[in-house]
Amino acid sequence: MDPMTELEKGPTGRRRGRGARERILSASQRLFREQGINRTGMDQLCAAAEVSKRTAYQHFPSKDELVAEYLRRFDPSVLPGVFDRTDLTPRERLLAAFDIPPTTPLCPYIAAAVELHDPRHPASQYARDYKKAVAARLADTAREAGAADPEQLGEQLALLIDGAAARTRVLDADAFPTAAAIAAVLIDNAIPAAAGDDRRREEVSS
Amino acid sequence: MDPMTELEKGPTGRRRGRGARERILSASQRLFREQGINRTGMDQLCAAAEVSKRTAYQHFPSKDELVAEYLRRFDPSVLPGVFDRTDLTPRERLLAAFDIPPTTPLCPYIAAAVELHDPRHPASQYARDYKKAVAARLADTAREAGAADPEQLGEQLALLIDGAAARTRVLDADAFPTAAAIAAVLIDNAIPAAAGDDRRREEVSS
DNA sequence: CGGTAAGCACACCAGGCGGTGTACTTAACA
DNA sequence: TGTTAAGTACACCGCCTGGTGTGCTTACCG
Q: What is the pLDDT of residue B79?
A: 67
Supply the mean pLDDT for chain B. 83
Determine the average pLDDT of the residues in B102-110. 81
> To the nearest whole angstrom, how far is the Cα of A158 from the nearest Cα of chain B?
9
Q: Which nucleotide is nearest to A50 (CA to C1')?
A: C8
Q: Would you call B113 an interface residue with chain A, using a CB distance cutoff of 8 Å?
A: yes
Residue B108 has pLDDT above 70, yes or no: yes
Contacts of A152 in chain B (CB under 8 A): 178, 181, 205
Among B121, B146, B132, B162, which Cα is nearest to B37's? B121
What residues contact A203, with CB distance under 8 A and at least 6 apart?
Answer: none
Chain A CB contacts of B189 below 8 Å: 185, 189
Give chain A as a DSSP string: --S-SS----SSS---S--HHHHHHHHHHHHHHHH-STT--HHHHHHHHT--HHHHHHH-SSHHHHHHHHHHTTTTSSSTTTTT-TTS-HHHHHHHTT---TT----HHHHHHHHH--TTSHHHHHHHHHHHHHHHHHHHHHHHTT-SSHHHHHHHHHHHHHHHHHHHHHHTS--HHHHHHHHHHHHHHH-SS--SS---------
Residues of B in contact with A185 (CB under 8 A): 185-186, 189
pLDDT beyond 50 at B3: no
* Fold of the domain spanning A6-70: Arc Repressor Mutant, subunit A (1.10.10)
pLDDT for residue B206: 40
Chains A & B: contacts with CB separation below 8 Å:
127
A9 touches strand D (CB under 7 A): no
For residue A182, list chain B residues with Cβ-Cβ distance below 8 A. Answer: 156, 159-160, 182, 186
Please answer yes or no on whether B115 and A155 come within 8 Å at the CB atom.
Answer: no
Q: In chain B, which among 46-105 make CB contacts under 8 A with chain A?
A: none
**pLDDT tens, residue by residue, A8-33:** 333 333 334 578 899 999 999 999 99
Three-state SS string across chain B, please?
A: CCCCCCCCCCCCCCCCCCCHHHHHHHHHHHHHHHHCCCCCCHHHHHHHHCCCHHHHHHHCCCHHHHHHHHHHCCCCCCCCCCCCCCCCCHHHHHHHCCCCCCCCCCCHHHHHHHHHCCCCCHHHHHHHHHHHHHHHHHHHHHHHCCCCCHHHHHHHHHHHHHHHHHHHHHHCCCCHHHHHHHHHHHHHHHCCCCCCCCCCCCCCCC
The pLDDT, as a whole number, for residue B77 is 59
B164–A contact, CB cutoff 8 A: yes
Per-residue pLDDT at B147 exceeds 70: yes
Q: Which of A110-114, A188-192, B9-13, B159-163 has the lowest mean pLDDT?
A: B9-13
Q: How far is the CA of A14 from the C1' of D30 (A)?
A: 14
Confidence at residue B19, expressed as pLDDT on a 0 to 100 scale:
83
- The per-residue pLDDT string of chain A (206 residues; one tens digit each, 9 = 90 and over) reads 333 333 333 333 333 457 889 999 999 999 999 999 999 999 999 999 999 999 999 999 999 999 999 999 876 555 667 788 888 899 999 999 998 877 777 889 999 999 999 888 989 989 999 999 999 999 999 999 999 999 999 999 999 999 999 999 999 999 999 999 999 999 999 988 654 444 444 444 43
What distance in Å separates residue B13's CA from the closest CA in chain A? 33
Segment among A167-181, B1-15, B77-91, B135-149 with least mean pLDDT: B1-15
Minimum CA–C1' distance nucleotide for B17 = D6
- Whether residue A195 lies within 8 A of chain B, CB to CB, comes out as no
- CA A64-A65-A67 angle, to 5 degrees, is 65
- pLDDT reported for residue B56: 95
Judge whether residue B54 contacts strand C, using its CB and a 7 Å cut-off: yes
What's the CATH architecture for B80-205? Orthogonal Bundle (1.10)
Q: Decide: B153 and B190 in contact? Cβ < 8 Å.
A: yes
Please list every residue in chain A whose beta carbon sits closer than 8 Å to the beta carbon of residue B142: none
pLDDT digits (tens, 9 = 90+) for B24-45: 999 999 999 999 999 999 999 9
**Amino acid of residue B172:** D
Q: Is the CB of B115 under 7 A from strand C?
A: no
CB < 7 Å to strand C — which of 78-97 in chain A?
none
Q: In the prediction, which pLDDT does B75 show?
A: 66
d(CA A205, CA B8): 66
Percent of chain A with pLDDT over 70: 82
Residue-level pLDDT at A19? 82
In chain B, ranges of CATH 1.10.10.60 domains: 6-70
Q: In the prediction, which pLDDT does A79 show?
A: 66
- B16 CB and strand D closer than 7 A: yes
- Using a CB–CB cutoff of 8 Å, tell me whether B133 touches chain A: no
pTM: 0.84
Residue B193 binned pLDDT confidence (cut-offs 50, 70, 90) = low
CATH 1.10.357.10 domain locations along chain A: 80-205
